[in-house]
Amino acid sequence: MWVNQQFVKWLSTKSDELLFKEIPSSYSSIIKTLNHIWATEEYWHSIIAETSEFDERENVELITDEILKGLLNRSTLLAELIKSFTEKELSKKVKIESPWFQCDLSKYEYLLQVVNHGTYHRGQIVTIGRNIGITDATNTDYNFYNVVTGQK
């Protein structure tokens, strides 16, 4: 959640012109990449919560404020869900059968997927930003998080 807060704080200072500017990439703009991160967090939240309720966010109008708030809200809900689980509940395996893949992993492992996926695409956002002149990306390194939050 902290990392998405940092990214939203950083990107909320940028113009829509920059956030929507397209370059050759798997997601061609910062806003499209943020929307994808949000949609994917929605999906994995539904898997970890064992519900089938999630918004795929495909073919939606991309509205900056909505995406930034939605991403923060989903991150908050995911963090609250994870905190509510016991170790045993987090170890529970959940089978997924989708058109794209099949697996039967623990909720811990799906949480790792959420984190890894977000990390990948936040790196992509930094690279897109550099290509369009945004060079003041926030530091979201895990060690930096531990330093600024006083973790030991």
9-15: average pLDDT:
96
pLDDT of residue 37: 95
pLDDT of residue 152: 60
> Other CB atoms closer than 10 Å to residue 126's CB: what's the count?
18
Domains of the chain: 2-141 (1.20.120.450)
Mapped onto helix, strand or coil, the DSSP state of residue 28 is coil
Task: Indicate yes or no: pTM above 0.85.
Answer: yes
Output the six-digit token pair for 115.
């984190």
38-54: average pLDDT:
91
Q: Which residues contact 31 (CB under 8 A, 6 or more apart)?
A: 16, 19, 20, 62, 64, 67
